[in-house]
């Protein structure tokens, strides 16, 4: 497993929800890589964490722009759609 390079952390700048390092919408590409590495052995925890972040972002962004709130699908795509679908430890219970 490759360890990501040490650099400034790519964390969200609230309430704008942009990366405090690169100013891209958070989670930026680097944050996504770092999160996948950090949660490599617990994808459920990654999704729970990102769901909580999505909830916070939706509230913050709505307060900033109440007449033009963020699109729910766009937020889902930004925060959750990129996460891995299954881990190598998952068991498929479909018949």
**How does pLDDT run across 83-93, given as a tens digit for each residue?**
988 655 454 54
CA distance 6 to 9: 8
| Confidence at residue 7, expressed as pLDDT on a 0 to 100 scale | 73
Cβ neighbourhood burial of 68 (10 Å; 0-12, 13-18, 19+):
exposed
pTM value is 0.81
| Confidence at residue 9, expressed as pLDDT on a 0 to 100 scale | 93
Q: Per residue in 21-75, pLDDT tens?
A: 999 999 999 999 999 999 999 999 999 999 999 999 999 999 999 999 889 999 9
81 C-beta neighbours (distance < 10 Å), count? 10
Q: What is the dihedral of CA 32, 25, 51, 71, to 10 degrees?
A: -140
């Amino acid at each position: 497993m490759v360890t990501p390079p040490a650099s400034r952390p790519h964390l969200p700048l609230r309430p704008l929800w942009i990366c405090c390092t690169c100013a891209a919408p958070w989670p930026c590409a680097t944050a996504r890589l770092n999160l996948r590495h950090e949660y490599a052995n617990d994808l459920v925890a990654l999704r729970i964490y990102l769901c909580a972040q999505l909830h916070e972002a939706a509230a913050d962004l709505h307060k900033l722009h109440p007449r033009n709130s963020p699109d729910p699908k766009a937020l889902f795509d930004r925060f959750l759609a990129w996460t891995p679908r299954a881990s190598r430890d998952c068991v498929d219970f479909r018949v």
